[in-house]
Structure 1
């Protein structure tokens, strides 16, 4: 069972060593992005961060807020798509007119969580080198892990909020920080990743920890987002050429549900970096409750079916019926009509409560690295490359239940595509592959295809204010180096 295996992997257990550490951990986690004048870290610095065990506990405190918000983040992002819809108050997300007051507040909670994770990473980066009973190798490892996680949080922030304050291990105690430009945030992200890349091992020290290939994958994604295509292709190729990863084979939707996204998987050959969840109270995955419908019996706590799609949507209509991934939708009429589609990508029939499913959430898996390489190599060369086309075909073959690494009649042929049509082909494959993994909105924005795509599919003109989320009022009100003029357009 996954609970036992996760314990063996030592990912969660250090959060529960004893009450002394729990008290310190609570101190580490307490944080408000509006920057009250906190001073509990003085006690922490004097009594903590002295052993490898304490460093790992502190590092776990950086994962906790990110894990807590990532499921909701995915749901929101995939309502900002051509195929996704939100129900009830969540319909605001797919109206593409910006957030209403309720969803502004919820977005602020996610902002707080990402900065909480950053703050806890900053504490590790600052204090680990001062440990009294820790080796330099242990320091380098934990600091690099913290920099990876800090970079990941800032990558989430900059793509959704644009320029933000850069809180580091040097200035995190300062309540008043200016809003940095998006360019400066990206520079900071790449600096963190370049340092982490050198120190993290090729094989993650246990499940849920980053390896150097997780760093390279994140770097490839950052470079792709910035339009630095040679660099994106090179980093993705390093991951591919490592021979550390392979796609999980599939011949049925059950293979996808249970072998790739299942609740009892500790890790797979495809996993590069995932946020880990387990069937324990306060340690499980909430996304299943958000997405599932009770009638499917695929989640034992029913489900809120708060996000859905429609079989009349052109995205779904144009999707090949032979693609296994298309079958990860159930057609269910829950009051919005018989064409309503509910996701059954993530299933767990033995969760411990509605937020206690065991399914991990992939941040980077090998399929994405292959598709990053396919797109970036083509953009770099000015046309689809042989290797890039084969990378795309690997993912495509798996989706049709075929042998992944053998040529097939369903293969795409490079000669049939120029650069633009090939990029569109890759974007389509990414759209099918990463449903409810929070990738599509980012793809539409970075390729400047959001306005055209949403207008064509949903008939909606995206409001300018919808492209960036509102900076929380608490940040503007309590950060004296920011003002209402720093708010994103339209808010």
Structure 2
């Protein structure tokens, strides 16, 4: 761990601008790109640093961008701390939500690798190609998050290594240009991965994870950029490649998220969080701290979950969503738990799938943030098949069979019309993936945000709301960046 922090520090120093007037440093102690990028171990440190940078967006911002504006969230017991602006869809240019700076730091880490790794000597070509493939995949993933959230964004394909306004202040590119870069990067990455295996922990990009990203990208462009059947076929082909890898549905839904079961065979890619490292992830906001006046039955269960520790209880799964889970569905208990008082009156709910680990009597929210897992992929396959007028019921039922177990026969899905199938797939994604940072982007992709999000149902036709505002704070630092139309 100490070695990782040292390497990361060097990488950050390399990418920071110098300020000669403020601090005079003897040249012999100066670390520059030219002096750092010498060996395979240097590149390994930079690669590790890229994944550390991903933890910034993964700890909260990916959830705020990808889910918080959907119908899944509501206020909990400790006030809103501004989170209500998301699920009430009352963002504005002064309170615009996350900025994109942490995302561009991750992109910059990838760009550094893509610039310097090709000229380094490696112990084997396969290792060098793997480093480059991971960097291309990371850049594609981050740009995919950006373009879905803000539309066209500045495209940076070279690292920022100084402070030249002409270099670092860029205007927005079109969303079409961003998607072209994403697809090109994925093609390059998939041509560089040498096999379809996973590294231990499944917390680094792999060929299978890159194919999952490719499938989601092409589903998006097929629906949102009129890519049509060609894009849906690309998504389907990518998913078929994933199914040749070492992936499976775990029989127990809870086991996917257990702190002690990180990197299990359902996971394709996750951002790693560890007990001895600083910082919680966003699940802390969906958990309670100290409670009083709760029933003994609830206290017995909740006590086992470690209540009375570090949860914030700012947001919870909404009643609208909780009520859609059948009591027969193991995903219900695997997703949330309802806390009731001595009169059996509902108090709040906690999200169980990200409940972390208790150490020395304190709960730490250090579950990995899963970016792709196999159930998600199966439901993407159902979505692609339905878009191509193929029967999506096998994939829907495969996911349901795990969820309902011995009672599955009562929940078997039968192929319907294309609209009925889309509704079934979208609901299945809700039940399977709630609180995993997917729902808002699912609703936008399916064209259902104004139908299913209560705070948007009276705003149909105001399509600008599907993007986030850039915001005055960010634009004050990026003078060439224009605001999204409708948010001015």
TM-score (norm: length of structure 2): 0.82
Could you say which residue in structure 1 is the equivalent of 2:246? Answer: 244
Relative to structure 1, the CA distance from residue 359 to residue 179 in structure 2 (aligned partners, 3 Å threshold; closer, same or farther) is same
Relative to structure 1, the CA distance from residue 351 to residue 361 in structure 2 (aligned partners, 3 Å threshold; closer, same or farther) is farther
Measured after TM superposition, the shift of residue 427 of structure 1 is 0.6
Q: Is 1:326 aligned to 2:324, yes or no? A: no
Q: List per-residue Cα deviations over 1:285-316 (Å, max 9, x = no partner).
A: 422321111243434633011111343x2x43
Relative to structure 1, the CA distance from residue 488 to residue 119 in structure 2 (aligned partners, 3 Å threshold; closer, same or farther) is farther
Could you say which residue in structure 2 is the equivalent of 1:193? Answer: 186
Distance 1:340 1:175 in 2: 46
Could you say which residue in structure 1 is the equivalent of 2:295? Answer: none
**Structure 1: unaligned runs, 5 residues or longer:** 1-11, 32-39, 251-255
Could you say which residue in structure 1 is the equivalent of 2:70? Answer: 81
2:411 alignment partner, SS class: coil
Aligned counterpart in structure 1 of residue 153 of structure 2, from 159, 164, 178? 164
Q: Is 1:293 aligned to 2:293, yes or no? A: no
Please provide the CA RMSD for this pair.
2.9
Aligned counterpart in structure 2 of residue 218 of structure 1, from 213, 219, 240? 213
1:82 alignment partner, SS class: coil
Could you say which residue in structure 1 is the equivalent of 2:226? Answer: none
Could you say which residue in structure 2 is the equivalent of 1:412? Answer: 413
Aligned counterpart in structure 2 of residue 107 of structure 1, from 64, 78, 98? 98
Distance 2:316 2:90 in 1: 19
Aligned counterpart in structure 2 of residue 27 of structure 1, from 13, 19, 37? 13
Relative to structure 1, the CA distance from residue 74 to residue 246 in structure 2 (aligned partners, 3 Å threshold; closer, same or farther) is same
How many residue pairs were aligned? 440
Distance 1:320 1:148 in 2: 37
Relative to structure 1, the CA distance from residue 182 to residue 22 in structure 2 (aligned partners, 3 Å threshold; closer, same or farther) is closer
Distance 1:303 1:370 in 2: 32
Distance 1:424 1:339 in 2: 31
Could you say which residue in structure 2 is the equivalent of 1:461? Answer: 459
Q: Report 1:330-409 matches (<5 A).
A: 330-332=337-339, 338=346, 340-351=348-359, 356-380=364-388, 382=389, 384-385=390-391, 388-402=392-406, 408-409=409-410
- For the 8 Å contact 2:286–2:316, the answer to whether it is kept is yes
Could you say which residue in structure 1 is the equivalent of 2:234? Answer: 231
2:453 alignment partner, SS class: helix
Distance 1:326 1:289 in 2: 19
Measured after TM superposition, the shift of residue 276 of structure 1 is 1.0
- For the 8 Å contact 2:72–2:434, the answer to whether it is kept is no
Could you say which residue in structure 2 is the equivalent of 1:316? Answer: 322
**Structure 2: unaligned runs, 5 residues or longer:** 18-26, 223-230, 292-301
Measured after TM superposition, the shift of residue 78 of structure 1 is 2.8
